Amino acid sequence: MPSTSSSINRFMTKILIIGANGQLGQSFQYWAPYFPHFKFFFKDLPEFNLLNQDQLEQFFNSTSINIAINCAAYTAVDKAEDEPQKAQQLNLQAIDTLCELSKTFGFKLIHYSTDYVFDGTADTPYSEEHPLSPIGVYGNTKAEGETVMQTSGIDGWIIRTSWLFSPYGKNFVKTIFSLLQNKEEINVVADQTGSPTYALDLAASTLNALDQNLATKGVEVYHYTNSGQTTWYGFADKIKQLTHTNCGVNPIDSSAYPTKARRPKYSVLSCDKIKKEFNLNPQSWESALEDCLKKIK
């Protein structure tokens, strides 16, 4: 939810949302009316193509932006193994371009990254300082994008998140919700552990954090998820409980559901830093899921 504290900003902050039609971009659109002191610009393909530098420069030349929030990414984890160049274009080259534009036009960049920058071999939550050890093309391109931004000399935030879900676009919750209505039973992987993140909560928390601090120097890295952890099976079973369906949900090992790209076995992120610095208190993933399902229905 938006912060109830009065804004510290003394001017109309102009915020560009890149990838406005994705699930995180649509979540920012949902909250925009609650932050009237921010002037939002929502952009997506085809009129805002991160791979078209001339088009981007034309926009920034004509519109003075204070903050660019990049919600766009190549996120098809398995497909990335077959399309490494496409993943690299969006997850690395586009970030390099945005960093150069940030230096030229003086806006702060907020960029979202992923739990896939870690290999999943830990057994306690990953902190922001944990060494990167990505697996697969997707994780590697996201890690490379982080490095480019951290060494660019610009001001901004990298916010790593995981298991994103919302009422918008394609995601695990919407897929399982649909399967539960149409199948007698489904099998769901039970040996991968992480923290689901409600895109609406991530968007609201980002805006609340910006409300408190627009003056960050250098690039800060944060983690944000909803509180608690579960497996994909536990996640699916909770959807079943909340929707009161009769479909059976069976736990299986990931070895029984082979995928082209490896998944981290354990990718829980420690969110202590962002909670402490911005006084955020993310709701549990279960209560977030309940809210999401009400909006889906």
pTM of the shown model: 0.95
User: Residue 1 has what pLDDT?
Assistant: 62
User: Residue 213 has what pLDDT?
Assistant: 77
Alpha helices in the chain (DSSP H): 23-31, 53-62, 79-82, 84-88, 94-105, 136-150, 172-182, 199-212, 232-243, 272-278, 285-296
pLDDT, tens only, 1-46 = 665 444 444 468 999 999 999 999 999 999 999 999 999 999 999 9
Residues with a catalytic annotation lie at 138
User: Residue 297 has what pLDDT?
Assistant: 84
What pLDDT band is residue 126 in, cutting at 50, 70 and 90?
A: very high
- Per-residue pLDDT, averaged over 101-119, amounts to 97
Q: Indicate the class that CATH gives domain 13-164+197-227+268-283.
A: alpha beta
The ranges assigned to domains in the chain are 13-164+197-227+268-283
Among 1, 47, 2, 39, residue whose Cα is nearest residue 21: 47
Residue 178, number of CB atoms within 10 A of its CB: 11
